Structure 1
Amino acid sequence: MIEAIGVEKRNAVLKEKLLKWLPKQSRLETQIFGLALSRFDQETSAEKCFYHPIVALIVQGFKRSMIGNHDADYGERHSMVVGVDMPGIFHITHASQQNPFLSLSVRLDRRIISQLATEMPSIVTSDNKPANPVAISEASEELLEAFIRLVDLLDTPSRIPVFAPMILREIHFHLLSGSQGDCLRLFSTGGTQTSQIAQAITWLRENYTGRLHMEELARQVNMAPSTFNRHFKQVTSLSPLQFQKRLRLYEAERLMLLEGKDAGTAAVMVGYESGSQFNREYKRQFGAPPHRDVAQKRS
């Protein structure tokens, strides 16, 4: 068991463990569901991604992010919590082969958050105020220790089914009871407008290729269309239509870059009926038409 050795020493322990599992630049999806380890040996240009509810801890280096329209810049020994599915852009700074960027992330489970909120009413908020989907804070000793024990399990895979669920639940508890708890509680506690928006975002994430009918989506989460649109934008900084466009365009870029699809095929796969509309919106989002943008990124 790790002794009470302070935040800096616990972070040093994590650094040693991550370097062992990541001897070179890579991203490792581990045997523990939802746990990923990352190493970058050089600074990166802006990369697009789509965040699920997650906690990410930087062990070494610095990361600049734009999640929706929310700035999220954080560095060593700080964690970022994202409470709802959000499109984002990030780039790594302060990274070299001698001092690589090191981080780990854990997917968050709304069922665990709801269970803990039910079992511990004192951590449930009754406020129905607009919520920021992103929260950054310095990691506590308890949270760092839980991450250490979780990474330690990778050395004994046979113990993962028994101990990983307990440690993951503990991580959820530390986040809920700390300064980042408001972000998670508001998006995971039923009956709040922000939790209703979270439901709508999840639906959009799973159905982004279809035509968006605002009234139907608002009705699904029991909100008037005007109220729904206003609160959706408060949470995500985007309108529902803009959010859907980001989903489609990010996936189209991935299909072209990683799966070799041509622009026309990618456009149809993500739900566009008009190739010219796809080209216009792609250029507006990424600064160049699909063919040119993908060619530049491949080179």
Structure 2
Amino acid sequence: MTAVPHPLEETLTSGDLLSEIRARTPDVGGNAGGWPGLTFYRYTRPTEPQWEEVKSLSLCVIAQGRKCVVSGGQPHYYDPFNYLVLSSSQHFTAEILEATEEKPFLSLVLQIEPTLVRRVSSDILDRRAVPFGPKGRGKPEPVFVSPLDCALMSATIRFLQATHNGADRRVLAPLYLREMVYRVLQAEQYERLIEVAATEAVSNPVSEVISYVQRNMSEPLTVSDMAEQVSMSPSAFSHLFREVTGKSPYQFVKEMRLNRARDLLIEQQMSVTKVSRTVGYPSTSHFINEFRDRFGATPRAYCDLQLISRELGSQQRG
């Protein structure tokens, strides 16, 4: 029996990706993506090489323009026809090569949990055992570029579109994210991506703790609780965590709680009291104060402003 193509894969194009990113980049520079680890970028002119750093395995896709990343003295060029993958804890220089006011540089960067890479790779191999560590061939390449084919581009567009709607965001977006990882693994970069993910999981217990926090956000969490998950002393764990993330465990968890609260308020329209409890704040007043300190408005005022902004954006696009 001949496989029937997904109907959306027949119609989605690079123009759809361009439109999706353009609509979500109101500001020059980085724009919050509304999904954990997702950031959109817009630049209207080329930039000088600048030092940057990534904290986790990242997929970088360009919809318009051209960019060069230099890591270990090796330049890596990518554009709308090629995507780039960066492993975590990488220091590199990045330079926007093509960007104008009329045709701005537009891209996205999506952080991917190494555990997701391993789960998808296990499914590809019919759940046979997948080696959980480097294969002994030396340290995997920290940066690599591959062609952006139609399958990966379509999965990326569907993922971005699904993040707009509450129900689609909860049900479809994780599936499309998984498909994106699957498409990358199906390409020629299979072994390299697996090695990068395995190396990160082995060498960086911080990722494991972040996953633990995400699963237990509604519960009280102490540094001792987090350190215990990776069999480290609280002091050693705190030092490693700050070294990897640039923040203390307490500050990082607080930001995770507040970012999650923002998503719940906007996407699920939950009450402020319910949101505060869901993200681990037993005191609603304390939650409101910390939310205002981070986002510059009370939870309800922030939610109202975002809804108005979306309505205006829809009217302008219409």
| TM-score, scaled to structure 1 | 0.59
CA contact (8 A) 2:57 2:111 kept: yes
SS at match of 2:184: helix
Please report how far the alpha carbon of residue 94 of structure 1 lies from its aligned counterpart in structure 2 after TM superposition: 0.8
Question: When the two structures are aligned, how many residues end up with a matched partner?
Answer: 203
Please report how far the alpha carbon of residue 3 of structure 1 lies from its aligned counterpart in structure 2 after TM superposition: 4.0
Tell me the equivalent position of 2:47: 44
Whole-angstrom CA distance in 2 between matches of 1:156 and 1:70:
41
- Which among 87, 94, 111 is matched to residue 107 of structure 1? 111
Give aligned-pair identity as a percent.
19
Whole-angstrom CA distance in 2 between matches of 1:38 and 1:77:
17
Whole-angstrom CA distance in 2 between matches of 1:166 and 1:154:
11
Post-superposition Cα deviations, 1:250-287, rounded to whole Å, max 9, x if no partner, equal x7xxxxxxxxxxxxxxxxxxxxxxxxxxxxxxxxxxxx
Amino acid at match of 2:93: I
Whole-angstrom CA distance in 1 between matches of 2:186 and 2:9:
22
Amino acid at match of 1:18: I
SS at match of 2:102: coil
Q: Is 2:154 aligned against 1:145?
A: yes
Whole-angstrom CA distance in 2 between matches of 1:92 and 1:133:
20
Whole-angstrom CA distance in 2 between matches of 1:11 and 1:149:
12
- List alignment gaps of at least 5 residues for structure 2: 1-6, 210-229, 231-239, 247-318
Q: Is 2:174 aligned against 1:165?
A: yes
Inter-CA distance 83–177: structure 2 relative to 1 (3 Å threshold): farther
CA contact (8 A) 1:70 1:134 kept: no
Inter-CA distance 98–24: structure 2 relative to 1 (3 Å threshold): farther
Post-superposition Cα deviations, 1:149-204, rounded to whole Å, max 9, x if no partner, equal 11112432342122211111111111112122222111234xxxxx28x643667x
Amino acid at match of 1:13: D
- Which among 129, 132, 145 is matched to residue 137 of structure 2? 129
Tell me the equivalent position of 2:301: none
Q: Is 2:36 aligned against 1:33?
A: yes
Tell me the equivalent position of 2:290: none
Whole-angstrom CA distance in 2 between matches of 1:13 and 1:158:
21
| TM-score, scaled to structure 2 | 0.56
- Which among 41, 48, 54 is matched to residue 58 of structure 2? 54
CA contact (8 A) 1:31 1:157 kept: no
SS at match of 2:141: coil
Tell me the equivalent position of 2:192: 183
Tell me the equivalent position of 1:4: 10
Please report how far the alpha carbon of residue 41 of structure 1 lies from its aligned counterpart in structure 2 after TM superposition: 0.6
* Aligned pairs (5 A) from 1:242-261: none
Tell me the equivalent position of 1:267: none
Inter-CA distance 202–41: structure 2 relative to 1 (3 Å threshold): farther
Whole-angstrom CA distance in 2 between matches of 1:4 and 1:127:
38
CA contact (8 A) 1:60 1:77 kept: no
Q: Which runs of 4+ in 1 moved over 4 A?
A: 122-127
Q: Is 2:79 aligned against 1:75?
A: yes
CA-based RMSD: 3.2
CA contact (8 A) 1:80 1:135 kept: yes
SS at match of 2:17: helix
